[in-house]
Chains A and B, each alone.
Chain A
Amino acid sequence: MDFVYHVEGGDFTNAGSTSSEVKRMLKKLGVSPDIVKRTVVALYEAEVNIVAHAYRGDITVDLEEDKVRIVLADEGPGIPNIDWAMQKGNSTASPKVREMGFGAGMGLPNIKNNSDELNIQSEVGKGTTIEFVNYFNK
């Protein structure tokens, strides 16, 4: 079952609303609280990244019996060096993003910590796609 949500770059008012909906959905399905938390923390970090860095993006949530697969595909500047961006403390966030309590270079590492599988593809000048999977029964 697929659900698709649209996210606008720079829209900090609504940043997190998709994560909020997905949290409600997973809770309603009876997914265990620790898996719900891991999933929505990873999703929220990635959703904020779209708002903070990209022009726009789509989030596809694919719910399967044993897992949730989430793909965040954005149109934006892309990440020139993913290995660099995955290291704690490395960030290109604007002062506005930092004012919102983010931009400390902890987002991508935290997505990794809160997902069972993670794949990041990026093309400079085009955009970034983050895909992660969390299993319900580990």
Chain B
Amino acid sequence: MTVEEIATLVQGEIIAGTEYKDKKVERVFASDLMSDVLTLKDYDNLMLVTGLCNLQSIRTCEMSDIEIILIVRGKVVTPEMLELAEDNDMVVIRTDFSLYKTSGILYGAGIPPVY
């Protein structure tokens, strides 16, 4: 599934990396705990779904080679976060849906989990 299709499914919007809207997402991991994200093995085209909305959520993706992040619960993404994401060629999507609802929609649409 593409970034654009995911944004549509969760009634969200792509707020950084719109040029990568056709990028594929093959797996999803959902967590507010960045320590958990940092323990993940390598997966191509992995997307993080999180309600943790601060610079460290972007940094954690940078270190973990995760290029797509979906921020849930209508959190406000700061300009500093967007700048850091764009510096690292990352895609940021936001949605007003909860972590549970977002995860349910994506799982129901057939995107597999990491484990």
List chain A positions with a Cβ less than 8 A from chain B: 12-13, 15-16, 19-20, 23, 33-34, 37, 40-41, 44-45, 48, 100-104, 106-107, 110, 113
B residues near A44, Cβ cutoff 8 Å: 38, 59-60, 63
In contact, A101 and B56 (Cβ under 8 angstroms): yes
In contact, A107 and B59 (Cβ under 8 angstroms): no
Stretch of B15-23, B27-35, B90-98, B101-109 that contacts chain A: B27-35
In contact, B63 and A41 (Cβ under 8 angstroms): yes
In contact, A106 and B39 (Cβ under 8 angstroms): yes
B residues near A104, Cβ cutoff 8 Å: 33, 35-36
In contact, A20 and B62 (Cβ under 8 angstroms): yes
In contact, B64 and A101 (Cβ under 8 angstroms): no
List chain B positions with a Cβ less than 8 A from chain A: 32-39, 42, 52, 54-57, 59-60, 62-65, 80
Answer whether A101 and B34 are a contact pair too, CB < 8 Å, given A12-B55, A13-B55: yes
Q: Would you call the interface of chain B mostly helix, strand, loop, or mixed?
A: helix
In contact, A113 and B39 (Cβ under 8 angstroms): yes
In contact, A37 and B64 (Cβ under 8 angstroms): yes
Q: Would you call the interface of chain A mostly helix, strand, loop, or mixed?
A: helix
In contact, B59 and A41 (Cβ under 8 angstroms): no
Q: Report the separation of the CA atoms of residues A15 and B34 in the bound assembly, to the nearest whole angstrom.
A: 13
Residue among B35, B37, B54, B65 making CB contact with A37, cutoff 8 Å: B65
Answer whether A41 and B38 are a contact pair too, CB < 8 Å, given A101-B32, A101-B33: yes
In contact, B56 and A12 (Cβ under 8 angstroms): yes
- Chain B, residue nearest A19 (CB): B63
In contact, B38 and A45 (Cβ under 8 angstroms): yes
In contact, B35 and A107 (Cβ under 8 angstroms): yes
In contact, A110 and B59 (Cβ under 8 angstroms): no
